[in-house]
Amino acid sequence: MAEARTKPAPKGLEGVVATTTAISLVQDNRLIYRGYAIDDLVAKAEYEEVAYLLLNGDLPDRDQLRDFKQELVKHRALSPFLRDLLAEMSENATAMDVLRTVVSASAAEDPAEGDNSQAAEYRKSIRLTAKLPTMLATYMRRRRGEQPVPPEPSLGHAANFAHMTWGEKAHPRAAEIMNAAFILQAEHGLNASTFAARITAGTDADMHAAVTAAFGALKGPKHGGATDTTMRMIEEIGSPDHAETFVDKGIERKYIFSGFGHRVYLTEDPRAKHLRRFASELAKGGPEQAKQFEIQERLVRAIAERRPKMSPGAAAKVNVVNVDFYAATAYTFLGIPADLGTSIFSLGRIAGWCAHVMEQHGDNRLIRPESEYTGPVGRTWVPIAER
């Protein structure tokens, strides 16, 4: 085996500090955006204020917020090029594939493509944040065979998304809960998709390339994809009475329970309690919702009781109910199809991704770690006729 030049990092880079950031702090079961606890932000802020905070470093004053909102409103509409692409793709592709591809294609109409200056990237961040809800609402309507509803300038970011998606049929709490969910999912340190964005930005590639990479990483079920797999798991369990058996069988086959476990949080994900409250309130809306929420509660209890039967590693991981677990039901109860939770996540996270790309470009150095080679060495070439 070749001699390693450096000691290899732990598997999955666990515990490795790979960069510095002034955007958010994840520590001791707390999540803090630019110095503000998310518990405060989720209770008091509009998503636009939080996006401004992440991108600029400080909360906006009244004039700054008005101007920021006006810029977002100005850029909500999609060009005919993006609308056509979205329509072409929507027949067969998943929402995450559509969003990733349309975001990537939007680079083609970026007037400052390749300009990585902070001013240009700020404008790109606003355009991407503004357009993503329009992309997803258009996709959702198309799946239902409905024409797109144009953005409504008088409405805020979350309320406009609800309006474009459901019009007058929107759940009465859709705007409020989407606003809170976008805030809770806006930023989270060096999570996998943000790291992917920073690695891409580190090559001096542009904002659109970095956000496209982030979309790719978010899709996986170990990351944002867990919102969708949580919903599938709840549907598979089917009835609250099946929860305990599901867990018993799951432990036997080392099943990974979606919505449980976290790399950084060891005892509590501070976002989960907010989404649990929303899910629990919305569960009162009908028998199907009540049943699905009851499945969740029985699952949490059954897993907690059976932790001693699990391997020490698994027992430690399932101790945490993560953000995706209750996001899945909160979104479903608002009328969002079960396979679209991950794409909703991206609507919040876009501000965090963009802030990280700007931070990376603001003081850039190529991110290029090394690997420890574990393959064979010194082999002798054998001609094809002799193999």
Ligand X SMILES: CC(C)(COP(=O)(O)OP(=O)(O)OC[C@H]1O[C@@H](n2cnc3c(N)ncnc32)[C@H](O)[C@@H]1OP(=O)(O)O)[C@@H](O)C(=O)NCCC(=O)NCCS
Could you list the residues that contact ligand X (CB under 6 A)?
12, 221-223, 226, 254, 256-263, 311, 313-314, 317-318, 322-324
Q: Cα-flanking dihedrals φ and ψ of residue 286, to 5°?
A: 175, 165
Q: Which is nearer to ligand X, 8 or 12 (by Cβ)? A: 12
- Contact (CB, 8 A) for 354 and 207: yes
Residue 55's contacts (CB-CB under 8 Å, 6 or more residues apart) are 122, 125, 351, 354, 355, 358
Buried b or exposed e, range 141-167, using 16+ CB within 10 angstroms? bbeeeeebbebeeebbbbbbbbbbbbe
> What is d(CA 291, CA 333) in angstroms, rounded to the nearest whole number?
11
**Which residue in the list 206, 228, 269, 324 is annotated as catalytic?**
324
Q: How far is the CB of 219 from ligand X (least distance, A)?
A: 12
- Any catalytic annotation for residue 262? yes
> Other C-beta atoms within 10 Å of 175: how many?
20
Closest approach of Cβ 264 to ligand X, in Å?
9
What's the min distance (Å) between Cβ of 327 and ligand X? 10
Cβ closest to ligand X, residue 2 vs residue 266:
266
Candidates 262, 274, 356, 361; catalytic one: 262
Q: Are 132 and 99 in contact (CB under 8 A)?
A: yes
Helix (H) or strand (E) holding 140: helix 118-143
- Count H helices and E strands in the chain, helices first: 17, 3
User: Can 97 be counted among the known catalytic residues?
Assistant: no
Burial class of residue 71, CB neighbours in 10 A (0-12, 13-18, 19+)? middle
CB of 377 to ligand X, least distance (A): 29
> Is residue 331 a contact partner of residue 181, using CB atoms and an 8 Å limit?
yes
Give residues with Cβ within 8 angstroms of 286, minimum separation 6: none
Task: Name the minimum Å distance from CB 226 to ligand X.
Answer: 3
Which CB atom, from 151 or from 250, has the smaller least distance to ligand X? Answer: 250
Q: Which is nearer to ligand X, 48 or 324 (CB)?
A: 324
Q: Which is nearer to ligand X, 15 or 375 (CB)?
A: 15
Q: Which residues are catalytic?
A: 262, 324
